Chain A
């Protein structure tokens, strides 16, 4: 158990090496990649069972890595309640994403699988790193495979989308690198351990600049309005598995970055920038919803819905109280599941019809009843209908931010909930209901066994997390509390955004299973 995090992170890398030396046989490569990603998932399950519900970093590994000149970098891994679920989300989504490529990708299968597994290494590494330098390495490492996934296996405009994705992310993260160096020198001799940096006590003016550098990198990744323009391109052009991973995990890097680094490292700047970030989040929610409404391409619609959903996450996180952050974290997981599922659904239909235009469809529910059912559940989850996971997250976010200084923002943001129902249901109606007019749609086949196998765990989770989210939140809570004290206590100046921590169990939603 001592090396479990390393094991999880580097199982996919071992898979990459295995695939490299394997003969070129598409089926063999596919199943090997699937097996490797499943192995990573299985190995990650003990993380949940072995996780102690407290605020400490657990499963810690800390060995010196670089110690040369004036620098000391450690290979320092560990997870707390915040990163735990993101690690699980990653290992959970990967096998499904890989399974979805079995018929979708026919060319260069070997390279595709290598890219997917390499991407998994980067994502897992970034979530488990407690050394800021190590985090940066993994953070950048994610770029390369994603760039190739979009650029080689993507749609018509793939090259433009891939380069845009790469340059956008690169510019942001390089400025963050300078900020990392600055923080390191401010902290004095030692290593890049982030908990060490939490206690430096930088003056607010310095924090402002450093926060901006970190926030830029993370805001691009989230993506926050107005830095979101790479996302619709990347999503639309990426192959299905690429979109799924991009939506389910990669975007979470941004919000995770805020929670793990930007906020606790720079508490004063966080307070100072909360209004700005809340404003941008609210604009993002409303604007992206409106843009999503008029999209003709289903995939682009889902991409814009991502921007809106992540706006909710940001709002919740920056409310900086228990419910807000818990809601934000939960919404990150929900978004991973439901938007990942939506991209899979779009992929299924695209594989059959080679089009994603809403006008090409209509009345599919008669032709594909299983597909229609699953699509409907996922749509509800994305809208946030009670009983599905989306509701819990959104509700908590709104409660949390309503209780905080962000009350007015919350009121405006709430309209996003309605808007999301509008664009999702309208799309669903146009695609699935009505007359089956297009003759090409008459030959469509329903989901096959493999596709149902992919969707089943996602649908199950939608309900599990919707009806009984307590286990998820319980494991997060101590870490969230610590984050809040971390951020609030250290605030020297600036506006305090306070609200009393509310007992989670007292809220009616928490125990829907128990009769009152």
Chain B
């Protein structure tokens, strides 16, 4: 009997390998670094991230590990989003954790491990890899959400996220098990092939229920309504840089896996799942926006807005055509820039214990710090989807995808939501520019790292907003492959 070893093809997971090695090395170095010098770990992890970004291959299709992972443009696009997200998070963490008194070196390896987990989710061509990536991501995130040990809110966030996250993973795993039960394989491409060949598989109730349960699990991860309940509390309680990270990266990772599994593995159920996603998109956009309207806490407001944004991305996903899906990719990239940019400002304004997170605390900001306020306004306008920002171009592609596919009403509901969202983004600007502050404004800590992050974010919002061609082309060439 010949024992066939699966072809490993390590080249297919180059960036992941590199980041994992860096993260493990950082754990060791951490022991040697004094607590006030933990920032060096941040620089090292930034270097690791940049190295990983450099090794991301483009334009190649490399399978590995016996079909467990696939390196293609789709995964490269998402990998770039994750790396950018992690790097910007590390930049805005500068000084924050010291201020909060929880400057533990484990922060950086945890962020890197979470990033590796996300990268595997985008690369997965096997349901098992999706699950493994998700777990690596989630476990790291549970710790990160509760990273501020002394804060009750942060603890609450960590525990809540853990309980609900574990619960939702259960759904996802059960869905995968049912799909396996119906088809006898966990390979994404094979599932599709089997379902296409064999009508009995495709029409099997088990197969359908598996799809539903997986959709539920993914919806938890991307915080789509009605599975969004955990989001506001977790986002509010988690340390602000971690909130920024969670709202951009893991959401994108959830979409990556969601897209690949549903587009590639379940084309036979397209009618069913696009109907399902239609409903999810409408609920997510509407609930997110309506509740965000009444929020005073800016972190909570952005949490609900991030729910709404998942809804917009779901619009493109529902359309499942080239414009819609490339719109999702473009939008998630833009969202990373605009949302982390906005959180960078919030980090800067909040002081220890985070008391300055109410929209009223922004009164007079526009007068005292005109440049920062202008940057914040750019992020908010982009979130609201007003040209000439990346947020507008992204939304245009998402909604255009829906219109092209005939989902006119979905697009109309989407733009009406967009119009409603303008109100709460404008509200922040009203306070920044049009109200006088109650007390003097003297607690801004400007650090070069945060400034760099804000600069990157402004560039990432404005350049693709004005000359979006290259990024759009990249997104259009990065549709998921089997």
Q: Decide whether A and B are members of one complex.
A: yes
Which residues of A are at the interface with B, using a C-beta cutoff of 8 A?
65-71, 108, 111, 136-137, 140-141, 143-144, 147-148, 151-152, 158-159, 162-163, 166-167, 170-171, 174-175, 177-178, 181-182, 184-185
Q: 29 A-B Cβ contacts within 8 A?
A: A66-B469, A66-B472, A68-B326, A68-B473, A69-B323, A69-B473, A69-B475, A70-B404, A71-B397, A71-B400, A108-B367, A111-B370, A140-B392, A144-B386, A147-B426, A151-B430, A158-B434, A159-B430, A162-B434, A166-B426, A167-B419, A174-B416, A174-B418, A175-B416, A177-B396, A178-B411, A181-B396, A181-B403, A182-B403
Contact A185 B403 (CB under 8 A): yes
A151 to B429: give the CA distance in the assembly, Å: 10
Contact A137 B323 (CB under 8 A): no
* B468 contacts A by Cβ under 8 Å: yes
Give chain A residues whose Cβ lies under 8 Å from the Cβ of B386: 140, 143-144, 170
Give chain A residues whose Cβ lies under 8 Å from the Cβ of B418: 174
Known: A177-B399, A177-B415. A170 touches B404 (CB 8 A): no
A65 to B386: give the CA distance in the assembly, Å: 19
Nearest-neighbor residue (CB-CB) of A64 within chain B: B469
Give chain B residues whose Cβ lies under 8 Å from the Cβ of A185: 400, 403-404
6 closest A-B pairs (Cβ-Cβ)?
A68-B472, A174-B415, A69-B476, A181-B403, A137-B387, A68-B473
* B455 contacts A by Cβ under 8 Å: no
**Interface SS majority for chain B:** helix
Give chain B residues whose Cβ lies under 8 Å from the Cβ of A159: 430, 434
* B43 contacts A by Cβ under 8 Å: no
Contact A71 B388 (CB under 8 A): no
A185 to B321: give the CA distance in the assembly, Å: 13
A163 to B136: give the CA distance in the assembly, Å: 45
* B10 contacts A by Cβ under 8 Å: no
Known: A68-B473, A69-B322, A163-B426. A175 touches B415 (CB 8 A): yes
Give chain A residues whose Cβ lies under 8 Å from the Cβ of B392: 137, 140
A204 to B404: give the CA distance in the assembly, Å: 20
Give chain A residues whose Cβ lies under 8 Å from the Cβ of B415: 174-175, 177-178
- Chain B residues touching A, range: 35 or more
* B97 contacts A by Cβ under 8 Å: no
**Interface SS majority for chain A:** helix
Contact A148 B469 (CB under 8 A): no
* B408 contacts A by Cβ under 8 Å: yes
* B167 contacts A by Cβ under 8 Å: no
* B58 contacts A by Cβ under 8 Å: no
Known: A137-B387, A140-B392, A178-B412. A68 touches B419 (CB 8 A): no
Give chain A residues whose Cβ lies under 8 Å from the Cβ of B65: none
A166 to B423: give the CA distance in the assembly, Å: 9
Give chain B residues whose Cβ lies under 8 Å from the Cβ of A111: 370
Give chain B residues whose Cβ lies under 8 Å from the Cβ of A71: 323, 397, 400, 472
Contact B403 A152 (CB under 8 A): no
8 A Cβ contacts from B427-482 to A: 429-430, 433-434, 467-469, 472-473, 475-476
Contact B322 A70 (CB under 8 A): yes
Give chain B residues whose Cβ lies under 8 Å from the Cβ of A158: 434
A137 to B386: give the CA distance in the assembly, Å: 8
* B422 contacts A by Cβ under 8 Å: yes
A150 to chain B, nearest CB (A): 10
Give chain A residues whose Cβ lies under 8 Å from the Cβ of B475: 68-69
Task: Pick the residue among B388, B397, B408 that contacts A137 (CB under 8 A).
Answer: B388
Contact B469 A141 (CB under 8 A): no
Give chain A residues whose Cβ lies under 8 Å from the Cβ of B472: 66, 68-69, 71
Which residues of B are at the interface with A, using a C-beta cutoff of 8 A?
322-323, 326, 367, 370, 381, 386-388, 392, 396-397, 399-400, 403-404, 408, 411-412, 415-416, 418-419, 422-423, 426, 429-430, 433-434, 467-469, 472-473, 475-476
A140 to B387: give the CA distance in the assembly, Å: 6
Give chain A residues whose Cβ lies under 8 Å from the Cβ of B467: 65
A233 to B475: give the CA distance in the assembly, Å: 43
A162 to B399: give the CA distance in the assembly, Å: 27
Give chain B residues whose Cβ lies under 8 Å from the Cβ of A136: 387
Known: A71-B323, A140-B387. A163 touches B430 (CB 8 A): yes
Contact A167 B422 (CB under 8 A): yes
A147-B426, A181-B403 known; 10 new pairs, CB 8 Å cut-off, are A65-B469, A68-B468, A70-B404, A152-B433, A152-B434, A170-B419, A177-B399, A177-B415, A181-B396, A182-B408
Give chain A residues whose Cβ lies under 8 Å from the Cβ of B408: 178, 182
In the complex, which of the residues A65, A70, A158 has the most CB atoms of chain B within 10 Å of its own CB atom? A70
Contact A144 B381 (CB under 8 A): yes
Nearest-neighbor residue (CB-CB) of B433 within chain A: A152
Nearest-neighbor residue (CB-CB) of A183 within chain B: B403
A47 to B301: give the CA distance in the assembly, Å: 49
Contact B476 A68 (CB under 8 A): yes
Give chain A residues whose Cβ lies under 8 Å from the Cβ of B370: 111
Give chain B residues whose Cβ lies under 8 Å from the Cβ of A175: 412, 415-416
Task: Pick the residue among A141, A166, A178 that contacts B388 (CB under 8 A).
Answer: A141
A144 to B416: give the CA distance in the assembly, Å: 19
Task: Pick the residue among B403, B404, B423 that contacts A167 (CB under 8 A).
Answer: B423
Nearest-neighbor residue (CB-CB) of B371 within chain A: A20
Give chain B residues whose Cβ lies under 8 Å from the Cβ of A70: 322-323, 404
Give chain A residues whose Cβ lies under 8 Å from the Cβ of B433: 148, 151-152
A137 to B390: give the CA distance in the assembly, Å: 12
Nearest-neighbor residue (CB-CB) of B470 within chain A: A68
In the complex, which of the residues B387, B392, B418, B472 has the most CB atoms of chain A within 10 Å of its own CB atom? B387
Contact B430 A178 (CB under 8 A): no
Known: A178-B415, A181-B400. A166 touches B473 (CB 8 A): no
Give chain B residues whose Cβ lies under 8 Å from the Cβ of A137: 387-388, 392
Nearest-neighbor residue (CB-CB) of A138 within chain B: B387
A131 to B408: give the CA distance in the assembly, Å: 22
Give chain B residues whose Cβ lies under 8 Å from the Cβ of A162: 430, 434
A174 to B408: give the CA distance in the assembly, Å: 13
Give chain A residues whose Cβ lies under 8 Å from the Cβ of B430: 151, 159, 162-163
A163 to B293: give the CA distance in the assembly, Å: 14
In the complex, which of the residues B370, B426, B468 has the most CB atoms of chain A within 10 Å of its own CB atom? B426
A65 to B387: give the CA distance in the assembly, Å: 15
A332 to chain B, nearest CB (A): 25
Contact B434 A170 (CB under 8 A): no
